Amino acid sequence: MDNFSYCTPTKYVFGRGAELHAAEELKSLGLRNVLVCYGGGSVVRSGLLQRVLATLDEAGIKHVELGGIQPNPTDPKVREGIAIGRAEGIDGLLAVGGGSVIDTAKAIAAGVPYDGDFWDFWAGKATIRTALPVGVVLTIPAAGSEGSGNSVITLLDGMHKISLRTDFWLRPKFALMNPELTFTLPPEQTAAGIADMMAHIFERYFSLTESTEVTDRVAEGVLMAIMEEAPKVMADPSDYQARANIMWSGTLAHNGICGTGRREDWVSHAMEHEISAVYGVTHGAGLAVVFPAWMTFMAEHRPQRGAQLARRVLGVVPTGSDRDDALEGVARLRSFFSSLGLPVTMAQLGVDQPDIDLLVSKLHENKGERFGGYYEITPEVSAAIYRLAI
Amino acid sequence: MDNFSYCTPTKYVFGRGAELHAAEELKSLGLRNVLVCYGGGSVVRSGLLQRVLATLDEAGIKHVELGGIQPNPTDPKVREGIAIGRAEGIDGLLAVGGGSVIDTAKAIAAGVPYDGDFWDFWAGKATIRTALPVGVVLTIPAAGSEGSGNSVITLLDGMHKISLRTDFWLRPKFALMNPELTFTLPPEQTAAGIADMMAHIFERYFSLTESTEVTDRVAEGVLMAIMEEAPKVMADPSDYQARANIMWSGTLAHNGICGTGRREDWVSHAMEHEISAVYGVTHGAGLAVVFPAWMTFMAEHRPQRGAQLARRVLGVVPTGSDRDDALEGVARLRSFFSSLGLPVTMAQLGVDQPDIDLLVSKLHENKGERFGGYYEITPEVSAAIYRLAI
């Protein structure tokens, strides 16, 4: 187990009616004037936004709005939010939505008090020293941004999709999580969210750090719970208990508890980010394609962790060969993803002839010639993995 | 899954040399004058206390000391600490030790700024509205107090041992956790700590709340990790990796992550507290006796959760009978505890003729005529369980 420092100060308020605590939580942080961020029309149509804003009005909390945040959020919306936030003198943000909305709110929170361009942080040119507090009303269990210190933003100029990770500043102060709000998610979005949260665990699970038994077991436990509950939410989108388990799993998958004490990987996310940036696919669906391809390569080149995953989580009966166990695990994972209606090939993702040279060159432009926690990714290796995804 | 609110703001700094971060963490909280709490001579003899105090001196942090805190800590020491704290105008506390030291520091932290008698909080006569910040250098993985909002104090007058649970105020601000500091623990203390942390999970796991798959799986995962690593630390007390896994497991067992979304039980703790209060036994050793007795009673009267535990954690092959599976699970748990050198009967605990009437009457005096989350405990039931422990 490696040395680590771990702090998750986010207050989770979970259950029916959780969103109605928005004003109370903002007030307990001393906030009086917030920017409310949201995405497309669903939070408006469902009445959720109005319900939340009504609690703010009642509590005398001033608010301005920033709507229309798109999936795979980009820098112009962040800049728009920073400008509004400064003009209105906001002292905090409330994100009502999923990962894209939350990540945009986090970027605005870092950008408002910063003298330079917010992208400096994402480009690695500056370190966040302060940020406005962010609260969340979660509507999509997937990205885990409600409990993480991360934010993924794409710079439109050059389509650079970058994930920034902070220990503290970008962690939401509170997350209001009502599973009922997820009943109306379309099946493909529910499924993509499930792939996303599983991927967040895989990135932490595939590690060269040894002797991390307790972190392994926690990670395996959350994965088993997701695989148990996923078919239930697909079969009955209004199954409160299954939705609740999936929603909480999405948070645990990415708030760091599945990664304590070990070096993580994050190669598959980086590889998928390029696919999302170039082809505009849903992040979670892209991960359902990339991760099994990456695991297939690893089964041939470094099979130990995939084999443990296969045996402990995917029900593979040990054959005596790590490679064979790991490959059988990948087959079962693909079959599980398919059962949720997820794509498992680039073709199923709607990308018939992916430009692998372009993906590889953009990947290494962003991540460097060699990178990766579990296995060193060179351009040859990434090309091979992208080919396994076709 | 029940509605819940969950926040663990404690910053964990984990690994070799973690204790040397004491001054840095106190400073980051703005603390300038702290009460340093510790127990017997081992932290003095080992040089740990001096090492920690040296970092404080170097950083210009004033400190006064409160040593000699005993296991099963009592109110006079708390009152002594409150008096010193007020006289010296402390702004925070640093606990260097295990659960008894940390719990005492927490009680002092709540007592110093309170006008009335600190015991009001433990007696349920008042609610904590503020407390001084507490930091921890952990030396004994067991009580989980480094990550919990709990504190167990015994009122000498009447030997009332009461556990106070708070959501926020009694949670340490930081916990410095160096597994090397646990190398010198005597085997019986290591084993008692392991029983204690397992019991913290059992109390959360035995619940009537249904559909808590992800919380179940996390709890089962931590239990499996403990059972995997425990024989290693008993065989080689200086096995860093095994010590690290046990130490982190002890925190996860009690910081709430194994209980989210469900009603908990805590009957076995209450029953053991009476044994500790009357006979002065080690808390963890007492739990190794009480829990299997409680589980045996439950196997006959409400076997479902014990059966799941038996099958998922204790390797019991399903027989088709929850009762039989649960009983086989108890047998395996007793055998596991015995393998660590723990007592599993009152006689092995050194209490040959327990005064069951006294234990029962004190238990219900503290907890009421009927209590319990998983199964209602009446005086008849508690007497039956105490008898199963003889």
Query: B133-158, pLDDT tens digit by residue?
Result: 999 999 999 999 999 999 999 999 97
- pLDDT score of B72: 86
What are A52-101's pLDDT values in tens digits?
999 999 999 999 999 999 988 999 999 999 999 999 999 999 999 999 99
User: 3-state SS of chain A?
Assistant: CCCEEEEEEEEEEECCCHHHHHHHHHHHCCCCEEEEEECCCHHHHCCHHHHHHHHHHHCCCEEEEECCCCCCCEHHHHHHHHHHHHHHCCCEEEEEECHHHHHHHHHHHHHCCCCCCCHHHHCCCCCCCCCCCEEEEECCCCCCCCCCCEEEEEECCCCEEEEEECCCCCCCCEEEECHHHHCCCCHHHHHHHHHHHHHHHHHHHCCCCCCCHHHHHHHHHHHHHHHHHHHHHHHCCCCHHHHHHHHHHHHHCCCCCCCCCCCCCCHHHHHHHHHHHHHCCCHHHHHHHHHHHHHHHHHHHCCHHHHHHHHHCCCCCCCCCHHHHHHHHHHHHHHHHHHCCCCCCCCCCCCCCCCHHHHHHHHHHHHCCCECCCCCECHHHHHHHHHHCC
Mean pLDDT of B363-380: 96
Helix (H) or strand (E) holding B155, with range, is strand B150-155
ipTM over 0.90: yes
- pLDDT score of B242: 98
- pLDDT score of B276: 87
What is the average pLDDT value for chain B, to the nearest integer? 97
Structure tokens at A361: 């060159």
| Residue B44, CA distances (Å) to A176, A310, B65, B107, B135 in order | 46, 48, 12, 23, 18
- pLDDT score of A15: 98
Residue of chain A with shortest Cα separation from B226: A214
The CA distance from B112 to B124, in Å, is 18
Mean pLDDT of A200-204: 98
The CA distance from B208 to A313, in Å, is 26
Q: Residue A382 above 80 pLDDT?
A: yes
- pLDDT score of B162: 87
CB-CB under 8 Å, B14 with A10: no
Residue of chain B with shortest Cα separation from A253: B214
Q: Residue B99 above 90 pLDDT?
A: yes
Burial class of residue B320 (count of CB atoms within 10 Å of its CB; 0-12, 13-18, 19+): exposed
The CA distance from A384 to A18, in Å, is 46
CB-CB under 8 Å, B16 with A5: no
A120 min Cα distance to partner chain B (Å): 26
Count chain A–chain B contacts defined by CB atoms under 8 A. 136
Query: Is B210 touching A (CB cutoff 8 A)?
Result: yes
The CA distance from B298 to B374, in Å, is 9
- pLDDT score of A159: 75
What are B271-326's pLDDT values in tens digits?
998 998 889 898 999 999 999 999 999 999 999 999 999 999 999 999 999 999 99
Residue of chain B with shortest Cα separation from A258: B218
| CA angle (B280 as vertex; B278, B286 as ends), nearest 5 | 95
Quick one: angle between helices A240-252 and A213-235, nearest 10?
150
Q: Residue B65 above 80 pLDDT?
A: yes
- pLDDT score of A314: 98
Structure tokens at B317: 């092959």
Mean pLDDT of A142-155: 96
- pLDDT score of B348: 98
- pLDDT score of B366: 86
DSSP state of B370: S
Q: Which residues pair with A136 in a beta bridge?
A: A95, A175
| Residue A105, CA distances (Å) to A135, A151, A173, B28, B190 in order | 9, 9, 12, 26, 46
Mean pLDDT of B68-74: 93
Q: Residue B159 above 80 pLDDT?
A: no
Structure tokens at B83: 């008096």
What are A227-282's pLDDT values in tens digits?
999 999 999 999 999 999 999 999 999 999 999 999 999 999 999 989 988 898 98
With beta carbons less than 8 A apart as the criterion, state whether B349 and B281 touch: yes
Burial class of residue B347 (count of CB atoms within 10 Å of its CB; 0-12, 13-18, 19+): middle
Band (pLDDT 50/70/90 cuts) for residue B161 is: confident
- pLDDT score of B41: 84
CB-CB under 8 Å, B11 with A6: yes
Band (pLDDT 50/70/90 cuts) for residue B369 is: very high
Q: Which of A122, A107, A142 is nearest to A286 (CA)?
A: A142
Dihedral (CA of A144, A150, A155, A161) sign: negative
List the single residue in B10, B15, B221 with the smallest CB-CB distance to A221: B221
- pLDDT score of A277: 82
Band (pLDDT 50/70/90 cuts) for residue B45 is: very high
